[in-house]
Amino acid sequence: MNRPAGSLFAAQHRLAPYLFVTPFVVLFCTFGLYPLIKSVVLSFYITSGPRSQVFVWFDNFRFLLGDPDFHKAVWNTFVFAVFSVFLQLPLSLGLALLLNRKNLRGRNVFRLCFFSPRLVGMVFVGVLFSVIFAAPYGLLNVGLHGLFGASLERAWLQDPHLVMPALVLTALWMYVGFNMIYFLAALQNVDRTLYEAATVDGANAWQQFWHVTLPGIKPVAVFVVVLSTIGSFQLFELPYLMLGNNAGPDDAGLTVVMYLYQNGFVTGDLGYASTIGWTLAAMVLVLALAQMYLSGTWKKEP
Amino acid sequence: MGKAAGKIILYTALAFVGFLTLVPLIWLVACSVKGAEDFFRYTFFPPISRFSLANFVSLFEQMPFVRLMMNSLFVAGTTVMVQLFFSSLGGFALAKYEFRGKKIIMVVMLATMMIPAQVMLAPLYELICRMNLADTYLGLIVPGAVSVFGMFLFRQSMLQLPDELLQAGRIDGCSEFGLYWRIAIPISRPMIGAFCLIAFMGTWNSFLWPQIILQSNLKFTLPIALNQLVGLQRQDYGVLMAGTLLSVLPVAVLFLILQKEFLSGLTAGAVKG
C-alpha cells in the first residue's frame, strides 16, 4: 500500500462500512424494529383511534381466546393453508415433473404460461375472480353450464359453503405455476448420474421418484412448504376484494389478517389489532418451526 | 408406439393445464373489449366488427385513470429506487467488510423476517399519523424504503465479489463508495434486474398499507382505486375488467423485459440453500 496513505483516505476506509449500513439501519429501526416493539406494548392496551388508550394487561389476549369471530377467522385461515400445502403444492410438483422431462419441446413457453397468473397482482386477481364467480354469467358458471349443464344461478360468493372452495380455487390458479418454478429449479439441480445409477440397479420410475428425486429436492420442498404456509396465513386481499369488508355470508371468508384489519382500521382499536397480530405471528412461527423440525432440516447429514 | 402415446399424453396434459391457466386471462381481455349488450351474448370475444372501447371510455369518465396510473408508477418507481440503493449499499457493507455490530444487524434482521409484517401495522399507522404523514406519498414510500429481503439478496450475490478486485481498486486510489459504485454494482447487474422486478411487483400490487393511509381519491394507487370501483360497480363487469386489464399491463410488460433475470433471482436463494 504505497498509494494515498493520507489520513483522510485511511479514515474513509475505516468508516465506510458504518456509513454504508447507517441509512439502512436507521430506517429499519424506525419503521421496522420500533413498530415491532411498540406493537407488543400496544397489545396490552385498548385503544380508540391513535390517541386514546387504556392499559388492560392481558385482557386483550383473554378476550381473543374467547372471541368466536377470531376462532372463525383462524379456522378459515387454517383450512385455506391446508389446501395450499396439500393440494396446491403436489400439483406444482407434478407440473414441474412433467416440465422436467428430457427432450420436452416448448418448455419455456409452458413455463411462462403457467407462471403468468403471478403477474396479476393479488388485488387484481381478486377483482377478476369476483367476476368469474359471479352469477349468472361469470365464466365459471358459464363453463360448468356448457360442459355439464350445471345451473347458472350458483352464486359462489354468496353461499357460505362455496366461499372457501372459491378462495382455494383462486389461489390454486394463482400459485400452482409460481411454486412450480421452485420445484423445477430444484429438479434440474438433482444429480443426473443418480438416476443412471438407479436405472442400472433396476429401480422403476416410482422408486426413482421416491429415493432419488424427493431426497434431492427436499431442501427446496421444505422451503416452499414453509413459504406457502406463511403466505396462506397472511391471506387478506383475495377475500377482501372478492367478498367485501364483511367477509361474505356468515363470515365464511373471514381470515386472521382481515379480522386484524377490521378491528384496527375499521373499528379503530389498534391495541386489539396488535394482539391479533402477535397471535398470528406466534401461530406462523410455531407452524414454520414445526415443519422444519419434522422434515429434519436441522438434523446433521450422516 | 408406447413412447409416442406417452408423448401425446404428456403434451395433452401440459396443454390442458396451460389452457386452464390462460382462460381467465383471455376472458379478462375479452370482457374489456365487449360492449354491455354483448357481454352475455358472447362468452369470449365478439366478432371483430363488434369490438368496443365503451368500457374504457366509461372507466376514464368514472375515475381519473391516467392520474391513478401516474400515482402508481411514481410510488412504485420511487420505492424501488430507494430500496435498491439502500439495500445494495447495506448488502455490500455486510458482504465485504468486517465491522463492529455486523453480526447483531444480521441476526436481528433475519429474526424479523420470520415475523409477519401485519404485526407492525397498528403501531406503524400510529407513528405515521404522529409524523403527519397520513394521506401522503411520503407516508407510503418511507416505511417501505428498506427491504431486508433485498439486503440479503445483495449480500449473497456480493459475497462472490473477489477481494483482490476491491484491493486493486483501493491501490488505484478508488474511494470505498467508488468501489461500491464502479465495481460492486456493475457486477451485480443480473441481481439488480431481478430485485427491481420483484420489488416493483410488490409495490405496484401493494394494497393493505395504502388502503390504510390514503384518504383522498386523487392520491389513490391503482389497487385502492380498483377496490373503490368494485364497491361502486359490482354489476358493471366490463368496466371492472377494463380497469383490471390496464392495471396489470405495466407489470406484464416489465416482466417480459426482465424475465430471465427474474426467474434466476427468484430461485437463487432457494436452490443454493
Least confident among B34-48, B136-150, B166-180, B244-258? B34-48
Least confident among A167-181, A231-245, B31-45, B157-171? B31-45
Contact B268, B188 (CB under 8 A): no
Nearest chain A alpha carbon to B87: A24
| Same domain for B117 and B19 | no
| Same domain for B266 and B181 | yes
Name the residue with cell 392520491. B219
Contact A147, A200 (CB under 8 A): no
Name the domain boundary from B35, B52, B69.
B52
| Same domain for B45 and B165 | no
| pLDDT confidence tier of residue A46, bands split at 50, 70 and 90 | confident
Q: Which of residues 226-285 of A touch B (CB under 8 A)?
A: 230, 233-234, 236-237, 240-241, 244, 257, 260-261, 264-265, 270-271, 273-274, 277-278, 280-281, 284-285
What is the pLDDT, as a whole number, of residue B236?
84
What is the pLDDT, as a whole number, of residue B266?
64
Q: Note whether B267 contacts A182, CB cutoff 8 Å.
A: yes
> Domain count of chain B?
2
Q: Who among B124, B252, B273 is closest to A35 (CB)?
A: B124
Nearest chain A alpha carbon to B9: A98
| Same domain for B95 and B160 | yes
**In chain B, which residues have their Cβ closer than 8 Å to the Cβ of A38?**
123, 126-127
Query: CA B162 → CA A257, B126, B168, B169, B171, distances in Å?
Result: 44, 45, 10, 11, 15
Q: Note whether B123 contacts A182, CB cutoff 8 Å.
A: no
For residues B172-186, give the mean pLDDT: 90
For residues A159-172, give the mean pLDDT: 94
DSSP, collapsed to helix, strand or coil, labels residue A45 as strand
Q: Who among B86, B212, B267 is closest to A24 (CB)?
A: B86
Q: Who among B43, B223, B243 is closest to A121 (CB)?
A: B223
Residue B217 contacts A where some CB pair is shorter than 8 Å: no
**Residue B152: is its pLDDT beyond 80?**
yes
| Same domain for B71 and B153 | yes
Residue B221 contacts A where some CB pair is shorter than 8 Å: no
Count CA atoms closer than 13 A to A126's CA, side-chain side.
Answer: 27
**In chain A, which residues have their Cβ closer than 8 Å to the Cβ of B98?**
17
What is the pLDDT, as a whole number, of residue B5?
86
Q: Who among B21, B114, B271 is closest to A186 (CB)?
A: B271
Fill in the amino acid letter for A142.
Answer: V
**In chain A, which residues have their Cβ closer than 8 Å to the Cβ of B258?**
none
Percent of chain B beyond pLDDT 90?
54
Q: What is the pLDDT of residues B105-126, one digit of tens each?
A: 999 988 888 888 889 998 999 8
| Same domain for B156 and B23 | no
| Same domain for B26 and B72 | no
Query: CA B244 → CA A128, B42, B227, distances in Å?
Result: 7, 20, 10
CA A58 – CA A167 distance, rounded (Å): 34
Shortest Cα distance, chain A CAs vs residue B230, angstroms: 7
What is the pLDDT, as a whole number, of residue A1?
44
The phi-psi region of residue B2 (left if phi > 0; otherwise alpha if psi is between -120 and 50; otherwise beta) is alpha
Nearest chain B alpha carbon to A272: B122
CA B169 – CA B181 distance, rounded (Å): 12
**Residue A3: is its pLDDT beyond 70?**
no
Q: Note whether B122 contacts A277, CB cutoff 8 Å.
A: yes
Q: Note whether A50 contacts B270, CB cutoff 8 Å.
A: no
What is the pLDDT, as a whole number, of residue A57?
82
| Same domain for B206 and B242 | yes
Whether a cis peptide bond, with omega within 30° of 0, leads into B64 is no
- In chain B, what is the straight-line distance between the N-terminal and C-terminal CA atoms, in Å? 42
| pLDDT confidence tier of residue A167, bands split at 50, 70 and 90 | very high
Delineate the domains of chain A, giving CATH numbers in brackets: 67-294 (1.10.3720.10)
For residues A217-226, give the mean pLDDT: 91
| Same domain for B243 and B130 | yes
Overall residue count recorded for chain A in this entry: 302
Contact A35, B94 (CB under 8 A): no
CA B195 – CA B154 distance, rounded (Å): 9
Q: Note whether A139 contacts B23, CB cutoff 8 Å.
A: yes
| pLDDT confidence tier of residue B268, bands split at 50, 70 and 90 | low
What is the pLDDT, as a whole number, of residue A267?
87
Q: State the alpha helices, DSSP H only, in chain A.
A: 7-28, 34-42, 59-65, 68-83, 89-99, 107-115, 122-132, 139-148, 160-189, 192-200, 205-208, 214-233, 237-243, 256-261, 270-294
- In chain A, what is the straight-line distance between the N-terminal and C-terminal CA atoms, in Å? 47
Helices B2-32, A107-115: crossing angle, 10 deg rounding: 40
Q: Give the range of the structural domain holding residue B15, as residue numbers without chain letter.
A: 1-52
**Residue B28: is its pLDDT beyond 90?**
yes
Grid cell listed for A253: 371468508
Q: Which of residues 143-202 of B touch A (CB under 8 A)?
A: 143, 145-146, 148, 151, 170-173, 175-177, 180, 201
Name the residue with cell 421496522. A32
For residues B169-183, give the mean pLDDT: 90
Q: Note whether A274 contacts B124, CB cutoff 8 Å.
A: no
Question: What's the ipTM?
Answer: 0.89
Task: Report the CATH number at residue B213.
Answer: 1.10.3720.10
Residue A90 contacts B where some CB pair is shorter than 8 Å: no
Phi, psi of A162 (to 5 degrees): -100, -10
Residue B113 contacts A where some CB pair is shorter than 8 Å: no
Closest CA to A130 of A151, A152, A156: A156
For residues A71-96, give the mean pLDDT: 95
CA A233 – CA A110 distance, rounded (Å): 29
Residue A155 contacts B where some CB pair is shorter than 8 Å: no
Shortest Cα distance, chain B CAs vs residue A276, angstroms: 8
Contact A103, B4 (CB under 8 A): no
**Residue A50: is its pLDDT beyond 80?**
no
Closest CA to A183 of A143, A213, A149: A213
Nearest chain B alpha carbon to A225: B270
Shortest Cα distance, chain B CAs vs residue A19, angstroms: 9
Q: Note whether B248 contacts A117, CB cutoff 8 Å.
A: no
**In chain A, which residues have their Cβ closer than 8 Å to the Cβ of B30?**
none
The whole-chain average pLDDT of chain A stands at 88
Q: Note whether B43 contacts A189, CB cutoff 8 Å.
A: no
Closest CA to B78 of B140, B26, B141, B28: B141
| Same domain for B191 and B71 | yes
What is the pLDDT, as a whole number, of residue B269?
53
**In chain B, which residues have their Cβ closer than 8 Å to the Cβ of A92?**
none
Residue A35 contacts B where some CB pair is shorter than 8 Å: yes
Phi, psi of A191 (to 5 degrees): -60, 120
| Same domain for B40 and B16 | yes
**Residue B244: is its pLDDT beyond 60?**
yes
Q: What is the pLDDT of residues A269-286, one digit of tens each?
A: 889 999 999 999 999 999
Shortest Cα distance, chain A CAs vs residue B49, angstroms: 23
| Same domain for B162 and B86 | yes
Name which residue leads in pLDDT, A82 or A292.
A82
For residues A183-204, give the mean pLDDT: 88
What is the pLDDT, as a whole number, of residue B273?
36
Q: Who among B14, B86, B204 is closest to A121 (CB)?
A: B204
Q: Which residues, 6 or more positions from A55, have their beta carbon under 8 angstroms from its beta carbon?
A: A44, A45
Contact A264, A36 (CB under 8 A): no
Name which residue leads in pLDDT, B89 or B111.
B89
